[in-house]
Amino acid sequence: MIQAKSVPLTDPASLKPVSVPEVSSSVTAPSGKSQRFFHLDALRAALMFWGILVHASTVEHSAAFRAIALVSGLVRMEAFFVISGFLAYMLLKKYGAKVTVRKRVLAIGLPFVTALLLLNPLTNWLVYNYHNVPIPFADYLAGKGAAHPEGPMNWHLHLWFLIALLVYSLLAPLLGKAVDHALRLSWAGERITYQEGVFLWTGIAMAVACLGSRVVFEIVKPALPPDAHYVVRSVGNFLPFYTLGMVLFASPAVREVFSKVHWTQTMLSCLLLAGAHWLGGENPSRFTEIMILAAQTYVAVCLSSLLFWVAGRWVRTESPTARSLSDSAYSVYLFHFLFLYLFAFLFRPWIANPVVLLVTISAATFLSTLCLHRFVIRRIPVLELLFNGKLPRRAQ
């Protein structure tokens, strides 16, 4: 049965995210000057930092933090992958397919392996001990814990997005050619007059693409191990958004449509999603699940467009502070889950109120991981390579 993509945070699907900061949103324009999209740098970083609040909601129950996580599930990763596709197409045009794939595999694959081996085991152990009867680290690694423990634990945690990005990076040359071919055969490279109609058809096309990817997942699901279900499903779920990002870079006309706020369609999409959930009830049929997924996709397109519009209005020029935050986003995201639970253990004996505790650990995590990047990772080339995928300047 086709299932909607929104699930409880205790499911791996709840651990959603954000980006590869080594890619700068700049490209060489025909005039020879470098064209930069400062608002996308800022939006990408903000989406990654948002993940701190999302995963803080797994520490203690809080209606406010659960609401933050709920909104995140509607748009955060979708908007992130739109930006990722945008930057991927930019790199393809700037460096070519071979160089782009090589750069992306290094930038994504090495930090993924490093964090998976060095950070995730410790993070999972802390999560286990926080939500269950504590056990030694060695016993946890040996599998001596409870059979069905409480807490958001799985092998990939928040790193699943790097697997998706790695797959997309390998597919990027083919996707880029497909986008080029589609634009040559369409009017999308020309000025668009009926913007609301184009935006509506974009939402419909995205919904069809996401439904198609879910059908494919359901076909291959029986052949997959259970631990791979969420990752494989996510790769399919977000591929249309990654491709949309490529289209936005390739077609300034479509980008102009997407970067404007569409209030009527945004409100309509939210009403459609609410209606689909109401019709589905607690045990939705296959038809209503299809409706929910289609409505979720439409909402994600509308809200992503809204975020692009907001970022474009708020961020018009680059500032040293914004650049520094954007540069640190990768490190912050890789380490934030570990730091959240470290601070949760530290402050839980002193802070009884759940909301105050979550605010405190979120702020402490954000500041600590920023400092970790700025004063440690960025200054030690081997750490910058392992956790950010950046070669020393002389080797680039």
Mean pLDDT by 10 residues, the chain (396 residues): 38 36 44 63 93 96 95 96 95 93 93 96 97 94 90 93 95 94 73 80 93 94 93 95 95 91 95 93 88 96 96 84 88 97 96 96 97 95 93 63
How far is it, in rounded angstroms, from Cα 50 to Cα 279?
Answer: 31
Sign of the Cα torsion 60, 61, 64, 67 reads positive
Question: Does 3 reside within a domain?
Answer: no
Which pLDDT score is estimated for 185? Answer: 76
Which pLDDT score is estimated for 23? Answer: 42
Dig out the tokens for 250 from the structure: 């390739």
How far is it, in rounded angstroms, from Cα 88 to Cα 262?
Answer: 26
Which pLDDT score is estimated for 197? Answer: 87
Alpha helix (H) residue ranges in the chain: 38-56, 63-95, 97-118, 120-131, 137-141, 160-184, 195-220, 229-250, 252-258, 263-280, 286-314, 320-347, 354-375, 381-388
3-state SS class at 297: helix
Which pLDDT score is estimated for 320? Answer: 83
Question: Does 162 reside within a domain?
Answer: yes
pTM over 0.85: yes
Which pLDDT score is estimated for 187? Answer: 61
Number of domains in the chain: 1
Question: Does 165 reside within a domain?
Answer: yes
Q: Cα separations (Å) of 185 from 37, 194, 221, 243, 383?
A: 27, 19, 35, 17, 46
Query: What residues make up the domain containing 331?
Result: 12-26+35-395
Which pLDDT score is estimated for 193? Answer: 67
Residue-wise pLDDT for 243-292, tens only, equals 999 999 999 989 999 999 999 999 999 999 999 999 988 888 889 999 99
Which pLDDT score is estimated for 39? Answer: 86
Widest Cα–Cα separation across the chain: 64
Which pLDDT score is estimated for 7? Answer: 34
Which pLDDT score is estimated for 35? Answer: 58
How far is it, in rounded angstroms, from Cα 137 to Cα 291?
Answer: 45
Question: Does 145 reside within a domain?
Answer: yes
- Amino acid at residue number 271: L
Half-sphere exposure of 200 (CA within 13 A, CB side): 9
Question: Does 1 reside within a domain?
Answer: no
Question: Does 275 reside within a domain?
Answer: yes
Which pLDDT score is estimated for 192? Answer: 66
Question: Does 7 reside within a domain?
Answer: no
Question: Does 5 reside within a domain?
Answer: no
How far is it, in rounded angstroms, from Cα 369 to Cα 363?
Answer: 10
